[in-house]
A and B are shown apart, each in its own frame.
Chain A
Amino acid sequence: EVQLVESGGGLIQPGGSLRLSCAASGLIVRGNYMSWVRQAPGKGLEWVSAINSAGGTYYADSVRGRFTISRDNSKNTVYLQMNSPRAEDTAVYYCARTYQVPPRFDYWGQGTLVTVSS
């Protein structure tokens, strides 16, 4: 059974930094395309970033240059480093396995809430 467990969310001040983690079981992160998708309070889904099996990384324009996705194969964990967060980054952040052919987000974590506020 695949499980994705996010952690690391919390209250962060604008301009600070925070690292989210997504610990996977039942799948090997280095062999999979993994994504972060966020949902602002009362709003819809927004794709944030992804890392493919080769280590290539992708970012939404809204976070490029501020967020960094990475993975630790030994811990089977994917990370999202959030630097210089803004109030509009406040959201629940979900980790999702992104199956490529045909594309879809087939496994999701329960999400972790990030609140950016002074």
Chain B
Amino acid sequence: QSVLTQPPSVSAAPGQKVTISCSGSSSNIGNNYVSWYQQLPGTAPKLLIYDNNKRPSGIPDRFSGSKSGTSATLGITGLQTGDEANYYCGTGDSSLSDGSWVFGGGTKVTVL
């Protein structure tokens, strides 16, 4: 059982848009920055979004992030087959031991 709640899966046709929600509480998302990670099959996670809505260099603007209260959302527009992956949200949590991070359970994106 993950501390942050994500839908297990979302799907859409190529070119369409998907959104992935990440729900938490005041001890994590409510008072921390959220980051998002993309994990392609058989590979290590890759930073996709940080500081709630910023993209590292090289990440296309088809990927966007937002945060409101104790929830965050990742959006992917212009869906491509190469976007099929698992996506995880993550943030710090002050209710746990110092320095703790928590992640969502992951959302599998399927391109129909």
The chain B residue with its CB closest to the CB of A4 is: B44
Does any Cβ of A come within 8 Å of B24's Cβ? no
Contacts of B46 in A (CB 8 A): 108
Interface of A is mostly: strand
**A110 and B50 in contact, given A47-B102, A47-B103, A103-B35 (Cβ under 8 angstroms):** no
**A105 and B92 in contact, given A47-B100, A47-B101 (Cβ under 8 angstroms):** no
Pair A94/B45 contact, Cβ less than 8 Å = yes
Does any Cβ of B come within 8 Å of A44's Cβ? yes
Alpha-carbon distance A108/B43, docked complex (angstroms) = 10
Sample 26 A-B pairs with CB under 8 A, ordered by A number: A44-B2, A44-B103, A45-B37, A45-B45, A45-B88, A45-B106, A47-B101, A50-B101, A52-B99, A58-B97, A58-B98, A58-B99, A64-B97, A102-B54, A103-B32, A103-B50, A103-B91, A104-B33, A104-B50, A105-B35, A105-B37, A105-B90, A106-B50, A108-B44, A108-B46, A111-B44
